[in-house]
Amino acid sequence: MSDTVGTAPFKRFVALGDSFVEGVGDVEARCPNGVRGWADRVAEVMARADPEFRYANLAVRGRLMSSIVSEQVVPAVAMQPDLVAISAGAGDLLRPAADIDTLIEDYDAAIGRLQDSGARVVTFTAHDTGGKSVFGALRGRFAVYNELLREVVERRNLTLVDFWRMRVFRERAMWEFDRMHMSTAGHVYMAIEVLDALGIEHDLVPVKVGPPQPISPSERRRDSRQWTVEHAMPWVGRRLRGVSTGDTIAPRYPELTALTPST
């Protein structure tokens, strides 16, 4: 990777949210929590452009809207960031009892507090679940959430990264086997989208993935059984027990940190 990038206009970048922001799916043993993610990749670009740049990532996998608002917003504001990226609500939408209007109201209030700190705020629509057999039935809930979020974006003049409209995420290679978290290729693509939305020059390029390989009906059934045993059943079990994979996880960069950019 080249060391030549454009000058980044931000000094302090704080990322908030759940597994999407933490970086789950982009496995990297050298990084905190064993993942890297799109937010790290965005921060690394800015760190190469400015040795005084600092980055914090408060996101924790499994966090719902209420926890993100109560646990992450106040520490983020205290860091006096000039750039904040936040994504919240996707986990709540998987729960039928979640009230979408209340989610948006809470999100709007949290974003307002971040904006009042003087930060430019980047947020994301939820991705389109229409092509996923397991989560396709939730597509309407995600669409309603996105429409209400777009109203917040327009009223507050936020920077929106429109995950819903990224057709490339219909490709299997953009997702991990668990079907819920982006793969490394997905995280790289998302980093590019964020940098482009901010108007920051960079040299990131999408990860090359080969064409989809044909899969026989027997292989599809085998993969489905494996996914059910390794991911679906444990997820249901955690919901029934009221626990989360993030219960024992700490934020990856809880304080503003000077990054050593990866290659």
Q: Which two tokens stand for residue 215?
A: 């899969």
What is the pLDDT averaged over residues 201-226? 73
Residues 151 and 220 in one domain: no
Residues 233 and 201 in one domain: no
What is the pLDDT averaged over residues 162-174? 92
Domain span holding position 226: 215-243
Question: Does residue 114 form part of some domain?
Answer: yes
Residues 6+ apart with CB under 8 A from 158: 111, 121, 122, 123, 152
Residues 93 and 223 in one domain: no
Residues 28 and 96 in one domain: yes
Lowest mean pLDDT, pick from 101-115, 138-152, 177-191, 225-239 = 225-239
Residues 126 and 238 in one domain: no
Residues 193 and 231 in one domain: no
Question: Does residue 4 form part of some domain?
Answer: no
Query: Which of 206, 224, 255 delimits the end of a domain?
Result: 206
CA dist., res. 103 & res. 86, Å (int): 14
Q: What is the pLDDT of residues 81-113, one digit of tens each?
A: 999 999 999 989 988 889 999 999 999 999 999
Question: Does residue 38 form part of some domain?
Answer: yes
Q: What is the pTM of this model?
A: 0.86
What is the pLDDT averaged over residues 101-126? 97
Please classify residue 171 by burial: count the beta carbons closer than 10 Å to its beta carbon, then call 0-12 exposed, 13-18 middle and 19+ buried.
middle
pLDDT: is 133 or 30 the higher one? 30
Question: Does residue 87 form part of some domain?
Answer: yes
pLDDT-derived band at 4 (thresholds 50, 70, 90) equals very low
Residues 198 and 151 in one domain: yes
Lowest mean pLDDT, pick from 166-175, 219-228, 241-250 = 219-228
Q: How do strand 12-17 and strand 54-57 relate by DSSP bridges?
A: parallel
Residues 54 and 100 in one domain: yes
User: Is the pLDDT at 219 greater than 70, yes or no?
Assistant: no
Q: Looking at residue 8, what DSSP letter applies? A: P
User: Is the pLDDT at 38 greater than 70, yes or no?
Assistant: yes
pLDDT given for residue 222 in this prediction: 66
Q: What is the pLDDT of residues 144-155, one digit of tens each?
A: 999 999 999 999
**Which residues on adjacent β-strands are paired with residue 52?**
none
Question: Does residue 256 form part of some domain?
Answer: no
pLDDT-derived band at 1 (thresholds 50, 70, 90) equals very low
Q: How do strand 54-57 and strand 83-87 relate by DSSP bridges?
A: unpaired
Which domain CATH number covers 94? 3.40.50.1110
Residues 219 and 202 in one domain: no
**CB distance 167 to 207 below 8 Å:** no
Q: Which two tokens stand for residue 174?
A: 């953009």
Calculate the average pLDDT of the chain. 87
Out of 134-148, 214-228, 229-243, the most confident range is: 134-148
Helices (H), the chain: 19-22, 37-49, 65-78, 90-93, 100-116, 139-156, 184-198, 217-227, 233-241
Residues 115 and 72 in one domain: yes
pLDDT-derived band at 3 (thresholds 50, 70, 90) equals very low
Q: Which residue from 250, 219, 256 is spatially nearest to 53, judged by alpha carbons?
A: 256
With tokens 């960079």, the residue in question is: 202
How many structural domains compose the chain?
2
User: Is the pLDDT at 211 greater than 90, yes or no?
Assistant: no
Question: Does residue 221 form part of some domain?
Answer: yes
What is the pLDDT averaged over residues 35-64? 95
Query: Which of 206, 232, 253 delimits the end of a domain?
Result: 206
Residues 113 and 222 in one domain: no
Residues 113 and 193 in one domain: yes
pLDDT: is 60 or 97 the higher one? 60
Question: Does residue 80 form part of some domain?
Answer: yes
Question: Does residue 220 form part of some domain?
Answer: yes
User: Is the pLDDT at 242 greater than 80, yes or no?
Assistant: no
